[in-house]
């Protein structure tokens, strides 16, 4: 029982990173990144390359990312990683599904990665002090 609790606590610290990975994969499929589409098709998951499937998947991973960033905020009390994450998550959805813009969508995904890096940095600074 203690091992399961330790695993859950360990995963809770990395939810933002897991969410960003899933968000990137879903966004890359939505944007038609050839390498990602080839990998998905080679794995036999070609049915995933459909906006009806990808939109809820992307939203779910973005929520997971924001939840992980919020958990980090509760630990280190620095708001900027969460703010950058929320703005980037909204931008990902807007630039993929509302006003299609591939460069801006990738910039928004880069913003998600930056929010995770800010979160890690804030946690290290909080731990050091």
Q: Can you give the residue ranges of every domain in the chain?
A: 2-128
State what percent of residues in the chain have pLDDT above 90.
19
**Looking at residue 61, what is its pLDDT?**
86
Average pLDDT on 45-55 reads 80
Sorting pLDDT into bands at 50, 70 and 90, what band is 43? Answer: confident
Cα three-residue angle 122-126-128, rounded to 5 degrees: 115
Average pLDDT of the chain to the nearest whole number: 83
Do 66 and 19 contact (CB within 8 A), yes or no?
yes
Cα dihedral 85, 89, 95, 98, rounded to 10, equals: -150
What does the pLDDT read at residue 11? 65
Q: Which helix (H) or strand (E) holds 35?
A: helix 34-42
């Amino acid at each position: 029982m203690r091992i399961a609790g330790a695993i859950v606590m360990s995963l809770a610290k990395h939810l933002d990173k897991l969410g960003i990975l899933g968000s990137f994969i879903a966004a890359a499929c939505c944007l038609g990144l050839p390498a990602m589409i080839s990998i998905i098709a080679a794995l036999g998951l070609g049915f995933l390359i459909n906006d009806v499937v990808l939109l809820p998947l992307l939203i779910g991973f973005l929520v997971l990312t924001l939840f992980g960033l919020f958990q980090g905020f509760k630990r280190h009390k620095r708001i900027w990683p969460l703010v950058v994450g929320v703005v980037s998550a909204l931008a990902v959805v807007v630039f993929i599904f509302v006003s299609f813009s591939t460069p801006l969508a990738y910039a928004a995904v880069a913003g998600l990665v930056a929010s995770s890096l800010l979160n890690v940095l804030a946690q290290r600074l909080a731990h050091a002090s």
